[in-house]
Amino acid sequence: MQKIAVYQPKVSRKAYGFKIISTIIFYISLLLLTFSDFLNAQFELEKRTVVRLGETSGMTVSFVILVTSALLIDRDFRRLLLGKTGIFYVAVVIFYTLMGWRIFGNDIPWIRMDLLTFLWPIGGLALFRIIVQSYRPKVQLMALIAVPTLYIYYAISLQAERMNVLSTAGLTARIIDNSAYHYSGLLLPLTGIALGVLCRQGWLLRILILGLVAIHLYSLGFIGATRSIVLCILTVLVFSSFGLSYTISEGVLTSKSSLRKPKQFTYLLLIVSIFILSITVFVEFQQMFISFFQNSLIFDRFFDSQNYNSQRNSELRIEEAIDGIKYFQDILEIVFGKGLGSTFPSILGYEINAFHIGVLTFLLKGGIIMFSCVVFTLYIKLPLLFIKSVVKPHRLDYLKRTALLTVLPGVFGWAVLLLLSGGYSPFNFLGVGFAFGTYSHIRKHGLGIFFE
């Protein structure tokens, strides 16, 4: 029997009241974050409200509610925000805001959009702390994943229906809804965390979370035929499997493989047996499925070297990156960037504030300094820590190792997205802030809160 150390704030009438209030705040914030998109999804893309995602009033109000509430009712949020890390981050954001405004004279609407994007990690941290204080945190975590996932399917399905290609979506017609991709970026860190904790709590939660991942993958990977989404989700699943392969005791991951346990080994044998049976008994169905997949657009985009659209999209992103880098005029801009609100003329004929190869956006905003910090952290430091957690588990504190193996798979999904397509939006940064809050909590308390 696994022993789980359940983290609970001091139980009192006041604390219980905070739990109820926090739960209400969470659902109000979630409604504000998603309501306008659910409403706009019912209309044609060109008929939707012409408001940039980062400037929507719903997101702004939600941010204010979350941060204000967390400041008032959560001590750990105040400690993190007013600690060295929080003060340093806010100072950096203020510095690059002033640089973009006073030195480079960037337009105020673009500055406001970038500022909200860079502030949303604080909102994501506040959102996690509100969930910690809420009643049954794992229910709120599931809701936070379920609502964006259902929106993605809802928006993509409505768009396919409007185009009268519902039956051939993903086969002959690629369905795209830009708002769905923002939610996809949010889901990557959340999915990694949920896989690490909810998949340990019975078959019902496993089926629910894996079902939501399947809907996400089907909606944007198959119907949307988006290669980057497929690769990002697979990245999260693969790295999450490392953490799930270890047993849990007293709220932390041990160095013992769960596959050695008779019960887990029985489950594995059952799954393998079903898989082999499906191959031998349902050969015709399997061949039909393979044929169906091979005729899909996502298969062509991955494996057809003659696919013009795929090649052209890749070429355009490279050309955009080259043109954007050429836009730097002197060494000062290269080193420090052009601050928040900086834009450049896209090869598509209009101003944009972020590269499709998203990691280069940090070069545009913060120069070599910010770009180097992001690249070193995401692609060198964190992978090395993850490898150390797996290869040399006894070299790390158990709580820290548990936090790394639980949170990093989702962060790696975002890191892959930054290299391939996008990753720079308020929703993406919300997910990053949520991941940081989760890491900080597990690093101190373990996984217990998700087992309440």
Q: Is 115 in contact with 95 (CB distance < 8 Å)?
A: no
Predicted pLDDT at 345: 84
Stretch among 238-242, 283-287, 371-375, 386-390 having the lowest mean pLDDT: 283-287
Tokens of 201: 């709590």
What average pLDDT does this structure show over 113-119?
94
Q: Domain locations in the chain?
A: 13-451
Residue 444: closest CA among 402, 383, 385? 402
Question: Which 3-state string (H, E, C) describes 364-420?
Answer: HHHHHHHHHHHHHHHHHHHHHHHHHHHHCHHHCCHHHHHHHHHHHHHHHHHHHHHHH
Distance CA 287, CA 278 (A): 11
Strand, helix or coil for residue 106: coil
The yes-or-no verdict on residue 287 having pLDDT over 70 is: no
Predicted pLDDT at 261: 53
Q: Is 414 in contact with 188 (CB distance < 8 Å)?
A: yes
Residue 409: closest CA among 218, 233, 201, 183? 233
The yes-or-no verdict on residue 122 having pLDDT over 90 is: yes
- CA–chain centroid gap for 321, Å, is 23
Please give the share of the chain, as a percent, with pLDDT higher than 90. Answer: 47
What average pLDDT does this structure show over 204-209?
88
Residue 239: closest CA among 411, 440, 420, 451? 411
Annotate 223-252 with DSSP letters as a single string. Answer: IS--HHHHHHHHHHHHHHHHHHTEEEETTE
pLDDT digits 0-9 by tens, 9-60: 445 666 677 889 999 999 999 999 988 888 887 776 666 654 444 445 778 8
Phi (first) and psi of residue 346, to 5 degrees = -75, 155
Q: Is 82 in contact with 23 (CB distance < 8 Å)?
A: no
Predicted pLDDT at 203: 84
Residue 188: closest CA among 116, 224, 239? 239
> What region does 378 belong to: left with phi over 0, alpha with psi -120 to 50, or beta?
alpha
- 355-375 in b/e form (b: 16+ CB < 10 A) is bbbbbbbbbbbbbebbbeebb
pLDDT digits 0-9 by tens, 218-247: 888 888 878 889 899 999 999 998 988 888
